[in-house]
């Protein structure tokens, strides 16, 4: 009873924050500069709150339809998160055209490599070709996004990026990636104990909620900070000009 209550609170709390964040991005006009973020949060709300819920209510949790729906939407979300990371790389390299050209080619090669490695699962299990490929590709792409997001954070530290909003967005997506990584590790260490299964079920919604709250904070706070700093910079420039005249 307690486990179900906690799961429901996290689940519906996530839906509420997703909806609130989408409304904030759209009605405040932030979606113009955060197109990919808006797309990703909207996709989260659509897949988890509408599509999966509809299939679950209609066919049941043990149905093959729900299984395929769950994994296919997981792959879709993994592809979208890869797109989010790519867009963050592009934003971090706005003033580094040569670096971005190299990173863009590297990202394409990484995606092709993940696709090729995942295709190896087709040769190991001919009886369940589609299922094996879907699971393998989704897991490999999630792991790749974890590595790429870490490299992006290190790159931002290396080039001393002044974009604090981007830093929070990168940290947010990193929190979400921690969910699958921690779940897989916990499953291997505990060998399917009941309490560990409960923790694994909670891991994903907790990490997703953490990402959403971090992004919400970034969208609400950072534009205000940017305006204040821009005004301070202009004021400092006026003071320097006045001092030069004197």
Q: Tell me, yes or no, whether 123 lies in a domain.
A: yes
pLDDT (tens digit per residue) in 206-217:
889 999 999 999
In whole angstroms, give the CA distance from residue 143 to residue 146. 5
Q: Tell me, yes or no, whether 95 lies in a domain.
A: yes
pLDDT at 222: 64
Q: Tell me, yes or no, whether 197 lies in a domain.
A: yes
Q: Tell me, yes or no, whether 241 lies in a domain.
A: no
In whole angstroms, give the CA distance from residue 120 to residue 105. 23
Mean pLDDT of the chain: 81
pLDDT (tens digit per residue) in 38-96:
999 999 999 988 899 899 888 888 888 888 888 889 889 989 999 999 999 999 998 88
Q: Tell me, yes or no, whether 22 lies in a domain.
A: yes
Number of domains making up the chain: 1
Q: Domain range holding 150?
A: 2-217
CA dihedral 12, 15, 20, 26 (to 10 degrees): -170
Q: Tell me, yes or no, whether 198 lies in a domain.
A: yes
The more confident residue out of 67 and 231 is 67
Interior/surface letters 128-162, b for 16+ CB within 10 angstroms, e for the rest: eeeebbbbbbbebbbbbbbebbeebbebbeeeebe
Q: Tell me, yes or no, whether 82 lies in a domain.
A: yes
Q: pTM score, two decimals?
A: 0.83
Q: Tell me, yes or no, whether 245 lies in a domain.
A: no
């Amino acid at each position: 009873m307690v486990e179900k209550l906690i799961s429901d609170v996290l689940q519906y709390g996530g839906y509420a924050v997703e909806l609130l964040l989408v409304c904030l991005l759209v009605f405040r006009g932030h979606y113009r500069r955060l197109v990919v973020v808006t797309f990703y949060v909207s996709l989260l709300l659509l897949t988890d709150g509408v599509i999966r819920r509809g299939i679950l209510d209609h066919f049941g949790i043990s149905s093959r339809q729900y299984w395929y729906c769950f994994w296919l939407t997981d792959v879709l979300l993994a592809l979208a998160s890869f797109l989010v990371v790519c867009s963050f790389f592009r934003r971090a390299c706005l003033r580094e055209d040569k670096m971005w050209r190299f990173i863009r080619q590297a990202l394409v090669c990484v995606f092709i490599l993940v696709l090729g490695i995942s295709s190896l699962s087709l040769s190991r299990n001919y009886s369940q070709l589609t299922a094996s490929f879907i699971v393998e590709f989704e897991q490999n792409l999630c792991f790749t996004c974890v590595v790429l997001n870490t490299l992006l954070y290190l790159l931002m530290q290396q080039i001393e990026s002044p974009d604090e909003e981007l830093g929070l967005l990168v940290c947010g997506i990193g929190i979400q990636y921690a969910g699958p990584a921690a779940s897989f590790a916990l499953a291997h260490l505990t060998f399917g104990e009941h309490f560990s299964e409960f923790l694994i079920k909670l891991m994903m919604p907790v990490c997703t909620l953490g990402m959403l709250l971090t992004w919400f904070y970034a969208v609400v706070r950072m534009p205000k900070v940017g305006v204040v700093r821009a005004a301070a910079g202009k004021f400092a420039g006026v003071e320097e000009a006045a001092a030069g005249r004197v």
